[in-house]
Structure 1
């Protein structure tokens, strides 16, 4: 699956396939370090970095990372630029 960035109001969503989860995780850790995690439900995990939170959802094998502020949006834009084919 192609990795893509979808604009939301506010924020954005980085969408990718199940096969890309490890690539996305590795890129996050490479750029931002290991986040603190809070598993809120079986399909939702909140990753906390020093300046923001990203929400990881994987319902029906349709994973995405959601950002709701400018810092998180910038993070996902950087990841999309690096990981998009």
Structure 2
């Protein structure tokens, strides 16, 4: 499994393979609990955790989780470390 944490101007993005979606989901739930599922469209879903919102995007079989706030960035850093 290859997980990449990309720094963005206003946050970060956790990039991973489609085959790793379940492992990433399991790591998130183990670390932060089960999220509430918010706004959804064909290419993205917003997941709300107690500390932050994360955007899951899977356009063109290129999944990623995006964080636009410091709490979400810290969450994605922990997930990347757990899966590292």
Shorter-normalised TM range: over 0.9
Tell me the C-alpha RMSD between the 2 structures: 1.0
Segments of 4+ moved more than 6 angstroms = none
Corresponding residue for residue 11 of structure 2: 11
Gaps of 5+ in 1: none
- Distance (whole Å) between structure 1 residues aligned to residue 39 and residue 56 of structure 2: 9
SS of the residue corresponding to residue 10 of structure 2 reads coil
Aligned residues: 84
- The alignment's TM-score, normalised by the length of structure 2, stands at 0.95
The answer for unaligned runs of 5 or more in structure 2 is: none
Whole-angstrom CA distance in 2 between matches of 1:39 and 1:19 = 24
2:66 aligns to what SS in structure 1? strand
* SS of match in other structure, 1:42: coil
Match of 2:75 in 1: 75
Q: Give the TM-score normalised by structure 1.
A: 0.94
